[in-house]
Structure 1
Amino acid sequence: MTTAGPRLLGPADVRALAASIGLRPTKQRGQNFVVDANTCRRIVREARVGPEDVVVEVGPGLGSLTLALLEAARRVVAVEVDPDLARLLPATVAERAPGIEADAFEVVEADALRVTGLPGPAPTALVANLPYNVSVPVLLHLLALLPSLEKGMVMVQAEVADRLSAPPGSKTYGVPSVKAAWFADVRRAGSVGRQVFWPVPNVESGLVAWVRRDPPPTAATREDVFAVVDAAFAQRRKTIRTALRGAGYPTEAVDVALTRAGVQPSARGEILGVHDFALIAEGLAMGSGWGR
Structure 2
Amino acid sequence: MTIRQLDRSELRHIAKAANFRPSAKRGQFYPHDSATVRRVTAACGAHRADEVLELGAGLGSVTLALLDKGARVTAVEPDAALARQLPHTVAQHSHSEIERLSVLHGDVTSVLPADLPAEPTIAVANLPAPLVESTLLHLLNEFRALRTVLVLTEFVLADRVCAEPGGPKYHPFGAKLRYFGAVRRHGAVTPSALWPIPRCHYGLFGVHRDPRQSRPADAESRGQVFGLVDIAFAHRRNSARSAFAAWAGSGHESAKRLLTASINPARRADDLGIGDFVRLQQRSSEFVGEGIDGSPLGRQSSPAGGSGR
Distance in 2, Cα, partners of 1:127 & 1:192: 15
The one-letter amino acid paired with 1:241 is R
Q: Name the residue aligned to 2:243.
A: 243
Q: 191-200 or 133-142, which moves further after superposition?
A: 133-142
The question of whether the paired residues in 2 share the 8 Å contact of 1:61 and 1:80 is answered with yes
Q: What are the superposed Cα offsets for residues 43-88 of structure 1, whole Å, 9 maximum, x if unpaired? A: 2123221111111111111111111111003201111111221111
Q: Percent identity?
A: 34
The question of whether the paired residues in 1 share the 8 Å contact of 2:90 and 2:98 is answered with no
Runs of 5+ unmatched residues, structure 2:
298-309
Question: Which TM-score applies when normalising by structure 1?
Answer: 0.89
Q: Name the residue aligned to 2:41.
A: 44
Q: Name the residue aligned to 1:281.
A: 281
The one-letter amino acid paired with 1:22 is N
Q: Name the residue aligned to 1:291.
A: 296
Instruction: From the superposition, tell whether residues 110 and 215 of structure 1 become closer, same or farther in structure 2 (CA, over 3 Å).
Output: farther
Instruction: From the superposition, tell whether residues 218 and 285 of structure 1 become closer, same or farther in structure 2 (CA, over 3 Å).
Output: farther
The question of whether the paired residues in 2 share the 8 Å contact of 1:124 and 1:150 is answered with yes
The question of whether the paired residues in 2 share the 8 Å contact of 1:65 and 1:128 is answered with no
Distance in 2, Cα, partners of 1:285 & 1:113: 32
The question of whether the paired residues in 2 share the 8 Å contact of 1:216 and 1:274 is answered with no
Q: Name the residue aligned to 2:221.
A: 221
Distance in 1, Cα, partners of 2:149 & 2:131: 17
Distance in 2, Cα, partners of 1:259 & 1:32: 48
Q: How does 1:1-150 map to 2 (within 5 A)?
A: 5-100=2-97, 102=99, 104-117=100-113, 118-150=115-147
Q: 252-261 or 178-187, which moves further after superposition?
A: 252-261
The question of whether the paired residues in 2 share the 8 Å contact of 1:53 and 1:125 is answered with yes
Question: Which TM-score applies when normalising by structure 2?
Answer: 0.85
Q: Structure 1 residue 115: deviation in Å?
A: 1.6
Q: Name the residue aligned to 1:268.
A: 268
User: What is the alpha-carbon root mean square deviation over aligned residues?
Assistant: 2.2
Q: Structure 1 residue 7: deviation in Å?
A: 2.9
The question of whether the paired residues in 2 share the 8 Å contact of 1:54 and 1:73 is answered with no
**Does the residue aligned with 2:97 lie in a helix, a strand or coil?**
coil
The question of whether the paired residues in 1 share the 8 Å contact of 2:235 and 2:269 is answered with no
Q: Structure 1 residue 29: deviation in Å?
A: 1.9
Q: Name the residue aligned to 2:173.
A: 176
Q: Name the residue aligned to 2:301.
A: none
The question of whether the paired residues in 2 share the 8 Å contact of 1:14 and 1:62 is answered with yes
The question of whether the paired residues in 1 share the 8 Å contact of 2:110 and 2:135 is answered with no
**Does the residue aligned with 1:188 lie in a helix, a strand or coil?**
strand
2:202 is the alignment partner of 1:197:
no
The one-letter amino acid paired with 2:104 is V
Matched residues, number: 287
**Does the residue aligned with 2:241 lie in a helix, a strand or coil?**
helix
Q: Structure 1 residue 215: deviation in Å?
A: 4.1
